[in-house]
Amino acid sequence: MNYSKTFLRQTIEHFYMGVLITAIYVLTAPLLVAHGYAGIGALLFVELFVLTPLVIVHLLVIARKLERSESLSIVIPNRKPIGTKSFVLWYVVGLLAIFGTFIPLYPVGILVRGELFAWLPEWYFNPGYGVTDQGTLANLFLIAILIDGIIAPTLEEVFFRGYLLPRMNYLKGWAPVVNGAFFGLYHFWQPHNFIALIVVGIILSYIVWKTKNVYLGIALHCTINVLGAVGGYFAVVNGIDITR
């Protein structure tokens, strides 16, 4: 195996979706904000109409090309069954690790935003920017529970840790580190959160790499995203202004 060529190809696979997602996000967000919709609407749009088809088509093409099959499951080997007790244990440990690292790193993201990315428009960071009707914003967060909380993280886990991670086994113990770091950096639309996203990505990658069970990654990723969307919804309905 030509490892350098393989690594280059995998690097491109890790990042090309992030480039396309960010490009379309940057193009659509100003238009939505100008028409009274919040910046989060653009993010939900690209997750549903850019990320979703890209992941599905990519995996179908790989399945058809390499395995001569149209079954997505054939290119996702990280589906090893584990007992309920082990699943719950890893899930709890994963949540504690994610929240134990992300919460302290969140202020770092705010600092980085102010120091390095203040030149970017407000909608790039503020999910509620661009809308004054709190009812509309609350509805967007409800929609986000489905799209950003379930659909997008499931697809990301299937692609990054179900498909890509097991194909990086030639890196041995570095596989979850590289995969997780690349996953964090793929979020070009959140550059201020790179450090936190890299740490969270490595945690998710390590758990899936160790257990060979992508469903754990899906459960953990969906949990943290759903909590974020639910938190945003309750903040809005309780009159907390998140548009500033």
Mind listing the pLDDT tens digit for each residue in 206-223?
A: 999 999 999 999 999 999
Q: Based on the structure, what is the number of domains in the chain? A: 1
pLDDT confidence of residue 93: 98
pLDDT confidence of residue 135: 86
**pLDDT-based confidence at residue 241 (cuts at 50, 70, 90):** low
Is the per-residue pLDDT at 244 higher than 60? no
Is residue 229, in this structure, part of any structural domain at all?
yes
Is residue 84, in this structure, part of any structural domain at all?
yes
Is residue 244, in this structure, part of any structural domain at all?
no
Is the per-residue pLDDT at 178 higher than 80? yes
Distance CA 223, CA 215 (A): 12
**pLDDT-based confidence at residue 3 (cuts at 50, 70, 90):** confident
Share of the chain above pLDDT 70, in %: 95
Share of the chain above pLDDT 90, in %: 77
Is the per-residue pLDDT at 242 higher than 70? no
Is residue 72, in this structure, part of any structural domain at all?
yes
Domain with 143 in it: 3-237
pLDDT confidence of residue 71: 66
Is residue 242, in this structure, part of any structural domain at all?
no
Most confidently predicted of 5-9, 10-14, 28-32: 10-14
Over residues 63-107, the pLDDT tens digits come to 888 766 666 777 899 999 999 999 999 999 999 999 999 999 989
Is residue 69, in this structure, part of any structural domain at all?
yes
Distance CA 141, CA 167 (A): 35
Average pLDDT over the chain, rounded to whole?
92
Please tell me the least confidently modeled range out of 55-69, 173-187, 194-208.
Answer: 55-69
Is residue 243, in this structure, part of any structural domain at all?
no
- For 130, the token pair is 């661009």
